[in-house]
Every structure is written in structure tokens, then in C-alpha cells.
Amino acid sequence: MTESIKRVMSQILGVDPGEIDDESSPATIERWDSLKHMQLIMALEDELEIQFPDEVIPELVTFKLIQSTVSKLATG
């Protein structure tokens, strides 16, 4: 799953998957603006066949937060 998230992030945000770490965020990835954020969320949902509840979407702004939310959704 970690791999899938990294791959989607790399495809959408145009960064090397190896460069993505826990703290990767709009502050460290230049292209991660609000439009890319929406695209990223849509792409993750599409790839992992999950749906994020709307209130958490704006909060998913680091790799770590995305990862923990996805694993909660997957097990929950």
C-alpha cells in the first residue's frame, strides 16, 4: 500500500518516489497546490478503491497523514 501511495503521489506531483518521505508536504513539494491536492485525493481514491470522508480531505497534507488515514480506511 505504501508503494501504491508513493507511486500515485509521484505520478500526480511529478516527483521521484524515492524522494517521498513521511514529512513530504506542500511545503517540500513545489507542485502540491490546492488543485493538485484535489487531483491527488481523487487519484488515490481511484487507485486504492477507497473514499475519504470530506472533512479529512483538506487535512491530508503529508505523506504520513495520507498513509495513516488510508490504513484506517482499509482496515475499518
| Residue placing its CB nearer to another protein in the complex, 35 or 75 | 35
> Distance between CA atoms of 73 and 10, rounded to whole angstroms?
22
Q: Check binding of 75 to another protein (CB under 8 A).
A: no
Rounded to whole angstroms, the Cα distance separating 76 from 72 reads 6
Please report whether residue 64 would count as binding another protein according to CB under 8 A.
Answer: no
Per the CB < 8 A criterion, the answer to whether 5 and 66 are in contact is: yes
Stretch that binds another protein, among 19-27, 36-44, 63-71 (CB under 8 A): 36-44
| Among residues 14, 17, 22, 25, the one that binds another protein under rule CB under 8 A | 14
Which of 3, 16, 18, 34 binds another protein (CB under 8 A)? It is: 34
Per the CB < 8 A criterion, the answer to whether 10 and 16 are in contact is yes
